């Protein structure tokens, strides 16, 4: 398993309200199953700004915290289109406009021979876009994140499972949210300072 | 899925095919018999159309059997829940090979109707290209075709038979090693790609005896795999609404099948384009006739139709995650691609016999006739065993709760 916890965010670069002294409330669980159940209940209770952390990817967890779509596919599509169009345009410009060379009597604009490079650059740009787009949409690299202010959180990359309700959630209130999380029977609850 | 909800409690009898499979089998058989009878009549009424139409029908349905076998072998090698849920569908599909073995006999007995190299008149003509005489003497002749036809089917059916028999044995005995499946499949995929290449050289490429393309077998391999995945999606959408498949088939597996469809749509286009580009770039008199035949007399529109509706549109649609995740939406595209597979094979075979765009009613009766018999055989196979190999380790994993 990787050293850093797997991070399933339900909204973009997830930094929360830095102006508030409290980032959110964190609950710790013993198993993946408990975390998924707790996430389901929390989302069903109306909390929207929540996040979950686990040492390994858990199927269904992203859906449990209300995370259904991300914009990486769109970034990949745009990247691929840019790659393909620029590859074709480059070849057309070279072969038909700037340095036209007669090859066996074929037309300067011989599209079949342009397809391979167009295809390859589409793949290349789409591939790079997916990696860069994923990092950008996750707000990475992120040198500081409030959740690490809770010492127990180090276990998120070992054997513990965490759920965080952000203070930016409209339904958030320190006492009410704490008693709600208590009802989910976590191992512990901690306030996360910003 | 968050909990097991009693999934692991499914027993052998719970996993048998639903009654609709029996209905489908009976209807398929009726369609098959009517189609076959009409096609036999067609052999006498429209002999000029019959033989190439028969070869199209044969190649399409054979491709489905072999595609099922190849995907099954791929599954045994790489594993994954996507394959566990369709494993019995694939096994039932490949076990239709005996039917295809019998259905080749009409082609075998009428080689001169289809292949110029088998026509005695042409071979006796002093003006005939000596190269054709050499090919007809050494490789493409009745005895060669007969021996190789038997060899191909013995190899294919041999591999299919053992994979299928071991799978049945898994149902009665728990805790068996899966090593023999993997061993057979690793050799099997290599053997399949070689034998199918030789088979399509014998049966399809030799329609234009002087023409050679080294990628030709791969065009059919990609197409057969695509047919098989589309077929599985169609079957899982028919049976998937009912128990037992509704108990274990999730959107995740359907999504995987959609991804495979996208892959093979792309592979098909990639191989076809490779062949086209090399022949276009070379522009040699012995290579271009194949495309000259297929880009004149109305066939060019079929070719264009293939580019757009066998590749471009399905490719664009299959990029959509929503479409791929639901069997009820994916099945429309899968059915369409099965239709396009037939168009593709028509475009491969028919222009060799008919320079101008040609289709007749016998094309439809043959597709329906062979197809009906094939489907009846398929459903018969499918109904004989549980829809999941109950003791296979992959099945136990599939029915386990998701989170430990």
- C-alpha distances in angstroms, A25 versus A163, A166, A177, B73? 8, 7, 8, 50
A60: nearest CB among B1, B276, B319: B1
Which residues pair with residue A165 across a beta bridge?
A25, A50
Encode pLDDT of B181-237 as tens digits. 999 999 999 999 999 999 999 999 999 988 989 999 999 999 999 999 999 999 999
Dihedral sign, Cα of residue B217, residue B219, residue B222, residue B227? negative
Rounded Cα gap, residues B57 and B345, in angstroms: 9
pLDDT in the model for residue B262: 97
Contact A112 B276 (CB under 8 A): yes
User: What is the count of residue pairs from A and B with beta carbons less than 8 Å apart?
Assistant: 35
- Chain A positions touching B4 (Cβ under 8 A) are none
CA distance A187 to chain B (A): 18
Contact B2 A112 (CB under 8 A): no
pLDDT tier, A17 (very low <50, low <70, confident <90, very high otherwise): very low
Segment B141-168 shows an average pLDDT of: 96
pLDDT score of B139 more than 80: yes
- Secondary structure of B23-53 in HEC code, one letter for each residue: HHHHHHHHHHHHHHHHHHHHHHHCHHHHHHH
pLDDT in the model for residue B111: 93
Spatial CB neighbours of B120, under 8 Å, sequence gap ≥ 6: B112
Rounded Cα gap, residues B286 and B18, in angstroms: 54
CA distance B404 to chain A (A): 7
Average pLDDT, chain B: 91
| B9 or A27, which is more confident | A27
Residue for token pair 């728990």: B174
Residue for token pair 């039917």: B99
pLDDT in the model for residue B400: 67
Residue A163: name the closest of A138, A183, A140 by CA. Answer: A183
pLDDT tier, B2 (very low <50, low <70, confident <90, very high otherwise): very low
| A192 or B162, which is more confident | B162
- Chain A positions touching B2 (Cβ under 8 A) are 33, 36-37, 40, 60, 64
In chain A, at which residue ranges do the beta strands (DSSP E only) sit? 6-8, 22-29, 50-54, 161-166, 188-193
Q: Which of B279, B284, B403, B404 to mutate to test the interface with A (most CBs of A within 10 A)?
A: B403
Residue B65: name the closest of B373, B332, B334 by CA. Answer: B373
- Whether A70 has its CB under 8 Å from any CB of chain B: the answer is no
Rounded Cα gap, residues B321 and B82, in angstroms: 16
With beta carbons less than 8 A apart as the criterion, state whether B383 and B235 touch. no
pTM above 0.90, yes or no: no
Segment B334-341 shows an average pLDDT of: 97
Q: Which of B1, B2, B282, B404 to mutate to test the interface with A (most CBs of A within 10 A)?
A: B2
Angle at B81 between CA B99 and CA B187, to 5 degrees: 55
Contact B404 A104 (CB under 8 A): no
- C-alpha distances in angstroms, A44 versus A10, A65, A66, B375? 15, 9, 9, 46
Q: What percent of chain A has pLDDT over 90?
A: 27
Encode pLDDT of A33-84 as tens digits. 888 888 888 888 888 888 889 898 888 888 888 877 788 889 999 999 999 9
- C-alpha distances in angstroms, B209 versus B11, B133, B355, B384? 55, 10, 16, 44
Q: What percent of chain B has pLDDT over 70?
A: 96
A60: nearest CB among B277, B321, B402: B402
- Chain B positions touching A64 (Cβ under 8 A) are 2
* Selection from A22-26, B156-160, B178-182 with the highest mean pLDDT: B156-160
CA distance B270 to chain A (A): 10
Q: Which of A29, A35, A36, A95 to mutate to test the interface with B (most CBs of B within 10 A)?
A: A36
* Range in A3-7, B2-6, B133-137 the model is least confident about: B2-6
- Chain A positions touching B321 (Cβ under 8 A) are 73
Q: What percent of chain B has pLDDT over 90?
A: 73
B 321-350 residues with CB below 8 A of A?
321
pLDDT in the model for residue B248: 84
């Amino acid at each position: 398993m990787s050293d850093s916890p797997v991070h399933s965010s339900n909204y973009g670069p997830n930094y929360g309200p830095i102006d508030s002294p409290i980032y959110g409330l964190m609950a710790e669980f013993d198993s993946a199953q408990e975390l998924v159940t707790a996430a389901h209940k929390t989302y069903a209770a109306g909390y929207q700004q929540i996040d979950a952390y686990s040492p390994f990817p858990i199927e269904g967890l992203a859906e449990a915290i209300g995370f259904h779509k991300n914009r990486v596919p769109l970034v990949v599509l745009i990247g691929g289109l840019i790659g393909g169009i620029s590859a074709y345009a480059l070849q057309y410009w070279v072969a038909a406009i700037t340095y036209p060379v007669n090859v066996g009597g074929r037309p300067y604009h011989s599209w079949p021979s342009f397809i391979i490079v167009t295809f390859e650059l589409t793949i290349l740009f789409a591939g790079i876009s997916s990696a860069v787009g994923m990092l950008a949409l996750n707000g990475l690299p992120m040198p500081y994140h409030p959740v690490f202010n809770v010492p127990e959180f180090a276990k998120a990359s070992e054997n513990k499972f965490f759920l965080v309700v952000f203070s930016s959630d409209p339904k958030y209130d320190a006492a009410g949210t704490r008693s709600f999380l208590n009802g989910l029977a976590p191992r512990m609850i901690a306030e996360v300072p910003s | 899925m968050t909990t097991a909800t009693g999934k692991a409690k499914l027993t052998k009898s719970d996993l048998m095919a639903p009654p609709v499979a029996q209905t489908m089998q009976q209807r398929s058989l009726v369609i098959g018999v009517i189609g076959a009878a009409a096609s036999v009549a067609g052999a006498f009424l429209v002999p000029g159309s019959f033989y190439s139409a028969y070869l199209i029908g044969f190649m399409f349905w054979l491709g489905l059997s072999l595609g099922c076998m190849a995907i099954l072998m791929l599954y045994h090698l790489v594993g994954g829940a996507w394959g566990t849920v369709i494993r019995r569908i694939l096994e039932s599909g490949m076990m239709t090979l005996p039917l295809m073995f019998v259905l080749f006999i009409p082609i075998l007995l009428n080689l001169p109707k289809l292949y110029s190299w088998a026509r005695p008149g042409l071979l006796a003509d002093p003006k005939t290209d000596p190269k054709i005489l050499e090919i007809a003497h050494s490789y493409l002749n009745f005895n060669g075709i007969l021996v190789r036809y038997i060899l191909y089917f013995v190899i294919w059916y041999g591999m299919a038979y053992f994979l299928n028999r071991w799978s049945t044995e898994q149902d009665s005995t728990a805790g068996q090693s899966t090593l023999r499946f993997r061993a057979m499949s690793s050799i099997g995929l290599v053997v399949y790609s070689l034998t199918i290449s030789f088979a399509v050289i014998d049966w399809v490429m030799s329609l234009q005896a002087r023409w050679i393309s080294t990628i030709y077998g791969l065009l059919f391999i990609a197409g057969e795999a695509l047919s098989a995945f589309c077929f599985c999606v169609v079957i899982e959408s028919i049976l998937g609404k009912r128990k037992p498949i509704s108990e274990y088939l999730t959107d995740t597996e359907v999504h995987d099948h959609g991804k495979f469809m996208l892959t093979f749509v792309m592979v098909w286009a990639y191989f076809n384009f490779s062949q086209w580009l090399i022949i276009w770039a070379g522009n040699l008199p012995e290579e271009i006739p194949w495309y000259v035949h297929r880009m004149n007399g109305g066939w060019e529109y079929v070719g264009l139709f293939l580019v757009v509706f066998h590749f471009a549109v399905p490719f664009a649609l299959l990029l959509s995650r929503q479409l791929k995740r639901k069997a009820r939406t994916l099945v429309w595209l899968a059915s369409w691609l099965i239709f396009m597979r037939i168009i593709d094979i028509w475009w491969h075979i028919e222009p060799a016999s008919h320079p101008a765009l040609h289709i007749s009613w016998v094309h439809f009766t043959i597709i329906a006739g062979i197809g009906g018999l094939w489907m009846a055989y398929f459903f018969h196979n499918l109904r004989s065993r549980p829809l999941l190999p109950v003791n296979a380790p992959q099945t136990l994993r599939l029915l386990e709760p998701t989170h430990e």
